[in-house]
A and B are shown apart, each in its own frame.
Chain A
Amino acid sequence: MIEIRGVSKSYNNGAIKAVDNLSLSVRPGEIFGFLGPNGAGKTTTIKMMVGLLRSDSGSIVINGHDVEKEPLKVKASISYVPDYPEVYEKLTGLEYLTFLADVYRVPRAERMARMKHFLELFNMTDAVGDLIQSYSHGMRQKIVLIGALLPEPEVFILDEPMVGLDPRSAHNLKEYMREHCDRGKTVFFSTHVLEVAEKLCDRIGIISHGRLIACGTMEELKEQAKNTGSLEQIFLELTEA
């Protein structure tokens, strides 16, 4: 589970507040969708969760471990998929996956079974022997996804995971996210695809100008926005200012 308490992050010596006193919690077994306009603070929040950025204040606790105080324990229990799949182009897909399996210490039997399963699920078996340099954007996204799924993380954190995926892969990813949470694990992801968030997420948080302006189930969001329409209508209304 994820506990974010009063987290703030600013740039330019405080001139730009990217995240402003953000608090939210995500429970085990929950898919949490994180929405917001461009530049609202989604990626900054996610980067602070995975240890790529330090917060100015507040705390982030994942699976009972504080990101600042016990970063390795946090990293061992999460997997992260960034918004842009910037990976080692001069490694083959398979070398990249074995590298991640090694550093996450995935035992031999499990790594073999999972690699085979996910490579087939995302239709990457034939391409896995090629250099990542030759992959399309979508294939890179898929190899990063597979790499992140190999350790079977307790908490799966994804930044815009659907971008670049073909419809079948996007569908498979959504199915996997659901199964993952059904096993009591947690998924936290940001997206601009509101239909996906509406259908898939147990709860949704909307961030604007670094502040969480709404959070809850679809029903709760409708109540908060006093709008019984779609998530799109609620989103547009809440983020209008």
Chain B
Amino acid sequence: MRLWTLIKQQLHVAFNLSALRWYARYDRKKLAGGVAIAVAVIASLVPMYYYVYLQFLDAVFLAGLTIGQPEILLTLSLVSASFIVLFFGIAFVMSTFYFSRDLSLLVPLPLTPGEIVGAKFAVVLVQEYLTVLPLFLPALIIYGVRMGTGIAFWPAGLAVLLLVPVLPLTVVSAAILLLMRSTNLGRYKDFLRLVGMVLLVVILLGINVLVTKLAPLTQEDVLALLLAEDGLIRFIARLFPPALLATRALVAGGVASVLNFLGYLAINLAGIVLTLFLGERLFYRGLIGGEEVAARKSVSQSRLERKMARVSSPAAAIAAREIKLLVRTPIYLFNSIGVLIIVPVALLLPLLMGEAVDPLLAIFLQPGNRFFVNLAGAAFIAIMGAFTPASSRSFSREGKQFWLSQVIPVPPAVQIRGKILYSLLLCLLSVPLVILLSVFFTKWSPPELLLVIVLGLCGCLPAVTSGLLIDLLRPYLNWDNPQRAIKQNMNVVLGMAVAALCYWLLYLLAKHLYRVGFSEYVIYAALAAAALLLGYIPYLVMLQIADRRYRDIVAP
């Protein structure tokens, strides 16, 4: 009963329900504005969602139908949704469990650690439904409608949908509880925790690759997979075995459906029990002392004077502040550079462990394809820039400390330049990856490498400035744990959507110029100029509105 009360309270806080009710009563205009923005954000994503994801699901269904295994659609979307929850849940769970501001209120209350963990878990779970719903629901609908399933399919589908994020989240929660307990060690704990999160991702990816590589497929195996009744489904479900139970619960029919569902439910419940058990045992031991830092370091007089004497320009001081805050907050750092680690690991592991991609790589790297290889390298830097969205949460990240930016005598334009500088510095982090790529695969010459890097960084600019503009227009400052500044911040999604639009325009430009027959150097120059222009437009808009926005934003 106490747990239920706590869950209700936590959900109220997490979804700002009281505030929404208040706005509905006293300030409908503001509420309508918020709803309109949310609708606009979702609407902006609909074309991409439809043409990329839904069309893909449809194609998977049709392919499955051709070989007599249409259920592959359900298994594939179950596995994908589970993996997305698994990877993106790492920072979310850590932040919600350990860095929520309300912990200092909850811990002194007569609640058990298991109850606090249970309530926090419920909050993460409900928020993960927002991720799972658009991924899995279309698969259910496509399958159900196209196959003309019986009425029992729909309640079963709903039950499976509700269970999809549970198991991955319990795995992540258990791992985070263990990680935080074992790294609660003095001054290096932030660093250890970052390393732990990255390791967790690498381990999860490694297990995934290992599982798929355990039994290499021969031609006969492939034939058997296609011919067996649910061969391909079993094959896909090797990545996440409970997905097989869930698929069968939906399609097997009769008693088999019920038994498979009960099996799936039992695994999920076991995950919850394990999380609560570990929470009861480990939560406080990972949390208590979390706010403490190392014993006081005495700074020598000479060092103090040296540090005091360092003078920087305001823009450089702002960029330095942003970088220090990023580097010292594991959640931000993981969210900002995690993708720079995950993507190469995800790419390299299969390359290192199998030969299937070698022929593809060989074709791609043929001398006649240099132009495309160069563009792909630049696109990699640009896309990584969009995936390390430091800019689209740059204002939001300041949260309750935004008042400082508002009262300092530094023109907002200068502060914005500091933020652009900081975001571009983060984009530079993908350069070492490109160099590694060059050393091992693409073998770019130094001038080519320089070209790829410069073109890639030009490509980052539209993502940086448009993201910054979006966040300046609607900063999300009133968050209670750092992950909420990122996870519940639609600006990040909107920023990526705008970046995707910019990249699509650049792609169209390159395609057009190539077809017309321009030389590759003209195309490089045109792309760089177009990217700079696309980046400059949001910058100009920001300069126009910055003074007003800095005055109008009300810091919480």
Q: Which positions in A face B, CB cutoff 8 Å? A: 12-13, 15, 50-54, 68, 71-72, 75-76, 80, 82, 86-88, 90-91, 94-95, 97-105, 107-108, 111-112, 115-116, 125-131, 133-134
Contact = CB atoms under 8 A, between A and B. Distances in A.
A80 B309 contact: no
A88 B321 contact: yes
Interface string B383-409: 000000000000000001101101111
B411 A53 contact: no
Interface bracket on B = 35 or more
Given A88-B401, A103-B317, A126-B296, A115 B408 contact: no
Contact of B307 (A68, A94, A104): A94
Given A75-B408, A103-B409, A129 B400 contact: no
Given A103-B408, A104-B409, A126-B298, A52 B403 contact: yes
B407 A80 contact: yes
Given A91-B325, A103-B318, 18 more contacts: A12-B27, A54-B552, A86-B400, A87-B404, A90-B328, A94-B304, A102-B312, A102-B316, A102-B317, A103-B317, A105-B314, A111-B308, A111-B311, A125-B304, A126-B296, A128-B299, A129-B296, A130-B293
B550 to A, nearest CB: 8
A100 B314 CA distance: 9
B324 interface: yes
B552 A131 contact: no
B515 interface: no
B314 A53 contact: no
A95 B318 CA distance: 12
Contacts of B552: 54
A86 B403 contact: yes
Nearest to B411: A72
B551 interface: yes
A15 B26 contact: yes
19 contacts: A13-B29, A15-B26, A75-B409, A80-B407, A86-B400, A88-B321, A90-B325, A97-B308, A98-B307, A99-B317, A102-B314, A102-B317, A103-B317, A111-B311, A112-B309, A126-B298, A128-B299, A128-B304, A130-B296
Nearest to B30: A13
Nearest to B406: A52
B298 A129 contact: yes
B309 A54 contact: no
Contact of A102 (B29, B307, B311): B311
Contacts of B410: 103
Contacts, number: 109
Given A75-B407, A108-B311, A128-B304, A86 B401 contact: yes
A102 B313 contact: yes
A155 B289 CA distance: 40
A85 B447 CA distance: 51
Interface of B: 26-27, 29, 291-293, 296-299, 304-305, 307-314, 316-318, 320-321, 324-325, 328-329, 400-401, 403-404, 406-411, 547, 551-552, 554-555
Q: What 3 pairs between A and B have smallest CB-CB spacing?
A: A102-B317, A129-B299, A76-B409
A97 B547 CA distance: 25
A91 B308 contact: no
Given A99-B317, A115-B308, A129 B297 contact: yes
A129 to B, nearest CB: 4
Contacts of B307: 94, 98
Nearest to A73: B409
Given A88-B321, A94-B304, A98-B308, A50 B407 contact: yes
Given A50-B407, A71-B551, A134-B292, A90 B329 contact: yes
A115 B27 CA distance: 46
A53 to B, nearest CB: 7
A189 to B, nearest CB: 16
Contacts of A111: 308-309, 311
Contacts of B324: 90-91, 95
B229 to A, nearest CB: 56
A133 B293 contact: yes
A53 B304 CA distance: 37
A143 B160 CA distance: 53
A97 B321 CA distance: 11
Contact of A52 (B299, B305, B328, B555): B555
